[in-house]
């Protein structure tokens, strides 16, 4: 009997100790019940990793896609010759399908390819497959099928037109490819990280037309195999068992399309999704209070927002006065709720050769007034703030400026910012007028936007990069060869003359520097050029009144590890894994 009592005692203790774990197992099992699915083909049953997304892919084809939702799908399935180390804050470029970095010889670039890679359909990856893809890209560009054509073009000064960067490719041997260029191109390896340069299977991809997103397959070499897309519902993937690197720990993955932001954020709280990129700012405090949710602030990303000044009408001295008059800290802390960071260069951190060591114009009303006096305004008044002539400064209206909405900006922030600018600039004798165009009206006028904003003094705009290179910012936003993106009407020659520099000296002219940096293949020399460009723009030419960059927040279930939050907001789930085996308990 005594032995029997001990047995029952042991059984009772085991039950009491095990109940919490049993409950956890039941919770996890029920929580993941809808995710248990066959991962496709001969693959075993698995628990799917679920990512909440706003939209499904508009275009499966990397050469056609031009939206983040499509890029996110492609990044799981496809790869380029080069890619980013997303675990590195500087996102250094690393070889992917290339075996190592190539060699420049004049206008030629020769690169060795990996010999251990297969496409998901069993086709062997080699130089012939790579050439097939770049020939396909050329065909798409010539026939107007590639939305990203301009990414693969440069401005040719002799013909005053945009020309393809790549002239041709040739197979040297089975695993060696040579690129021939119309001009040497310094950021070429960064360009090949862009989705439009991803490599697809020649056996499964239509050669002379885009992939049909609704009916056809996307076949690459990446860690996940694309299974299907149910429009506006979900995208499904499963792990590629023969991936050239170590097989991913995720057996099956679902992109769950939840268009409503609030519902999508709540889905993480309820456990319906495991990971969410870019949560709503209003939800971050709530997520941080939840024990089952991890919030990662990975620092700033590379999406910039800036208030540009029209360089055609406002000289550099006047631009400096305006820049000193704006309370940038208040904009960040109050208007943007502390979710953005002031940038000290047009090139944000996370982009190659970003240099934030230069002196940006800080908020200083007294200094702004002294600069205004150097131009002949209010010379008889005390410039100190607050000073003995405060009422005179505030009542004066030396000049009128107009203010436009710009690109990718909510009307609410536009008007709140206008109110701040109106008050700040009034302190130095500048009157600001609003264009009174709301967001809906702006969208209607979008086709005429470049003409519409040409006469505005201050314009609020945003910029997103295509690939990790400073040329993606500098050459796009400040070239005088094309005003498509140069919203501040900056001209390197005019800026040099305005600042008293020699406009024909390379070291003094941003236009000449950016053109030289684009064709320079020596990366150390390119860095020197971009350092000088940033110094001139930040300390002397001052085309912007201020600029900010978003903070990069990601949130996920505490059982998830390994996601590489990164400045470019790349969604890449190959490194992810579960930390609790109970998630696999069926």
For every residue of 166-217, DSSP letters joined together read EEEEEEEETTEEEEEESS--TTHHHHTTSGGG-B--TTTS-SSS---TTT--
Q: Is 271 helix (H, G, I), strand (E, B) or coil?
A: coil
- Report pLDDT for 344: 94
Query: What tokens appear for 422 in the block?
Result: 């109106």
Query: What tokens appear for 456 in the block?
Result: 């505005």
User: Angle 423-429-432 (CA atoms, 0-180°, nearest 5)?
Assistant: 55
The percent helix, strand, coil of the chain (3-state, each to 5) is 35, 20, 45
**Alpha-carbon distance values, 150 to 320, 449, 467 (Å):** 33, 20, 13
For every residue of 463-527, DSSP letters joined together read E--SSSSTHHHHHHHH-SS--SS-TT---HHHHHHHTT--TTSGGG-HHHHHHHHHH---HHHHH
Domains (ranges, CATH) in the chain?
47-292+558-584 (3.40.190.10), 300-468+542-550 (3.10.105.10)
Of the candidates 225, 243, 222, 245, the residue with the CA atom closest to the CA atom of residue 235: 225
CA distance 150 to 330: 38
Sheet architecture: strand order including 166-173 = 103-105, 108-112, 176-181, 166-173
Confirm if 518 and 185 have CB atoms less than 8 A apart.
yes
For every residue of 396-412, DSSP letters joined together read ---EEEEEE--SS--HH
- Report pLDDT for 482: 60
Confirm if 544 and 535 have CB atoms less than 8 A apart.
no
Half-sphere exposure (Cβ direction) of 297: Cα atoms closer than 13 Å: 12
Contacts 24+ apart (CB under 8 A), 519-526: 519/183, 519/184, 519/185, 519/186, 520/184, 520/186, 521/104, 521/184, 521/185, 521/186, 521/188, 523/186, 526/186, 526/353
Query: What tokens appear for 114 in the block?
Result: 């990996």
- Report pLDDT for 402: 82
Preceding omega of 386 cis (within 30 degrees of 0): yes
CA distance 276 to 41: 28
Confirm if 103 and 172 have CB atoms less than 8 A apart.
no
Question: Widest CA span of the chain, in angstroms?
Answer: 107
Q: Is 338 helix (H, G, I), strand (E, B) or coil?
A: coil
Q: Decide the pairing of beta strands 252-257 and 45-53.
A: parallel
* Burial of residue 281 (number of CB atoms within 10 Å: 0-12, 13-18, 19+): middle
Of the candidates 33, 76, 26, the residue with the CA atom closest to the CA atom of residue 51: 76
Block means of pLDDT (10 residues each) for the chain, 586 residues, are 41 44 39 47 64 96 94 98 93 96 95 98 98 97 90 83 93 98 95 97 97 96 97 96 96 96 96 94 93 92 90 92 95 88 94 95 96 96 94 91 63 79 94 66 44 63 90 90 73 94 97 95 97 97 92 93 93 91 43
Contacts 24+ apart (CB under 8 A), 489-494: 489/310, 489/311, 489/312, 489/313, 489/454, 490/311, 490/541, 490/543, 491/311, 494/311
């Amino acid at each position: 009997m005594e032995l029997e009592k001990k047995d029952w005692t042991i059984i009772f203790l085991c039950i009491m100790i095990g109940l919490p774990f049993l409950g956890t197992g039941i919770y996890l099992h029920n929580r993941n019940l809808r995710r248990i699915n066959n991962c496709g083909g001969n693959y075993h049953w698995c628990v799917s990793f679920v990512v909440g997304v706003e939209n499904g892919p508009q275009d499966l084809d990397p050469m056609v896609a031009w939206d983040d939702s499509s890029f996110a799908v492609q990044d799981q399935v496809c790869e380029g010759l080069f890619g980013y180390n997303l675990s590195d804050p500087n996102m250094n470029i690393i070889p992917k399908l290339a075996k190592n970095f190539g060699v420049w010889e004049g206008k030629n670039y020769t690169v060795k390819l990996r010999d251990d890679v297969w496409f998901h359909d069993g086709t062997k990856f080699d130089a012939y497959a790579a050439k097939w893809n770049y020939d396909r890209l050329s065909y798409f560009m010539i026939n107007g099928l590639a939305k990203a054509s301009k990414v693969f073009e440069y401005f040719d000064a002799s013909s005053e037109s945009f020309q393809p960067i790549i002239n041709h490719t040739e197979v040297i041997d089975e695993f060696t490819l040579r690129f021939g260029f119309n001009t040497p191109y310094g950021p070429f390896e960064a360009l090949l990280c862009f989705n439009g340069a991803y490599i697809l299977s020649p056996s499964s991809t239509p050669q002379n037309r885009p992939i049909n997103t609704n009916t056809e397959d996307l076949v690459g070499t990446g860690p996940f195999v694309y299974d299907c897309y149910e429009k506006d519902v979900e995208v499904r993937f499963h792990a590629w068992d023969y991936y050239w690197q170590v097989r991913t720990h995720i057996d099956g993955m679902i992109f769950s399309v939840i268009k409503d932001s609030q519902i999508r954020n709540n889905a993480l709280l309820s456990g319906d999704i495991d990971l969410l990129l870019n949560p709503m700012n209003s939800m971050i405090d709530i997520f941080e209070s939840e024990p089952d949710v991890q919030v990662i602030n990975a620092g700033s990303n590379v999406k910039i927002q800036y208030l540009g000044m029209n360089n055609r009408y406002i000289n550099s001295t006047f631009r400096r006065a305006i820049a000193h008059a704006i309370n940038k800290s208040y904009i960040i802390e109050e208007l943007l709720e502390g979710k953005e960071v002031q940038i000290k260069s047009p090139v944000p951190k996370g982009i190659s050769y970003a240099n934030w060591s230069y002196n940006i114009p800080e908020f200083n009303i007294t200094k702004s007034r002294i600069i205004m006096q150097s131009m002949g305004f209010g010379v008889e008044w005390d410039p100190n703030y607050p000073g003995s002539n405060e009422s005179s400064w505030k009542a004066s209206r030396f000049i009128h400026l107009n203010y436009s909405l710009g690109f990718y900006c909510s009307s609410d922030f536009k008007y709140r910012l206008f109110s701040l600018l109106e008050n700040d600039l009034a302190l130095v004798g500048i009157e600001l007028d609003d264009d009174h165009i709301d967001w809906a009206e702006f969208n209607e006028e979008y086709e005429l936007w470049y003409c519409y904003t040409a006469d505005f003094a201050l314009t609020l705009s945003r910029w997103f990069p295509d690939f990790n290179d400073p040329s993606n910012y500098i050459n796009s936003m400040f070239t005088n060869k094309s005003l498509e993106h140069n919203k501040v009407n900056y001209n390197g020659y005019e800026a040099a003359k305005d600042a008293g520099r020699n406009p024909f000296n390379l070291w003094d002219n941003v236009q000449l520097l950016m053109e030289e940096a684009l064709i320079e293949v020596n990366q150390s020399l390119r860095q020197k050029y971009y350092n000088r460009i940033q110094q001139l723009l930040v300390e002397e030419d001052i085309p912007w009144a201020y600029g900010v960059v978003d903070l990069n927040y990601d949130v996920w279930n505490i059982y998830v590890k390994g996601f590489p939050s990164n400045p470019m907001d790349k969604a890449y789930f190959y490194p992810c894994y579960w930390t609790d085996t109970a998630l696999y308990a069926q």
